[in-house]
Copies of this chain bind each other. A is one copy, B any other.
Amino acid sequence: MAQPDPIEEARRQWVAHGWGAAADGMAMVTSLTRVQQLVTERIDAVLRPLDLTFARYEVLRLLAFTRAGSMPMTRLGSLLQVHPTSVSSAVARLEAQGLVERQRDADDRRVVRATLTARGREVVEAATDGLNREVFEAPGLDADDVATLTGLLRDYRRRAGDLPD
């Protein structure tokens, strides 16, 4: 016997309760939440054996893109679009794992930099290989749909003030 999609079923309930103006938005938000869970499961399957979360992976990846493997903490926060305390806690954990070191900038002692260790470099490349192969090269939709979805998410971000001017 066919079960209904729980999100479609919720949408029907919304309409039946007189909340029709909110039904499509509810379905969009709930679908986003659900797909994010499914994507996170795939990412965690790659990163968990390396003892990384996606947030900590992103820190390592940004550092590895720089020439010196190093970046001020404030710059990391700006690129990751997260609160400074989130960056601090991610970097503190990476430091405890021996993947990153923090030190004050030699030229400007007010600036704290995060720098990849040799081990951090190995781990971020292994993580990137795994994510590319297991997730990003097979993102779960056809190429056209990947582009359309990313474009709509970009529209959402732009309208939410999330994109630089």
Contacts and interface: CB of A to CB of B under 8 A. Distances in A.
A44 to B, nearest CB: 12
A39 interface: yes
B24 A147 contact: yes
- As for how many copies of this chain the complex holds, the number is 2
13 contacts: A5-B157, A13-B65, A22-B137, A24-B147, A25-B135, A28-B139, A31-B154, A32-B39, A34-B157, A34-B162, A140-B156, A145-B155, A148-B148
A109 interface: no
B136 A156 contact: no
Given A80-B6, A160-B140, A164-B4, A153 B29 contact: no
A68 interface: no
B38 A36 contact: no
A36 B32 contact: yes
A15 interface: no
- Which of A21, A22, A23 neighbours the largest number of chain B CB atoms within 10 Å of its CB? A22
B65 A150 contact: no
A19 B152 contact: no
A86 to B, nearest CB: 10
Contacts of A128: 19
A106 interface: no
Interface in A18-62: 19, 21-29, 31-39, 43, 54, 61
Interface string A126-154: 00100110011111110101111110111
A81 B19 CA distance: 23
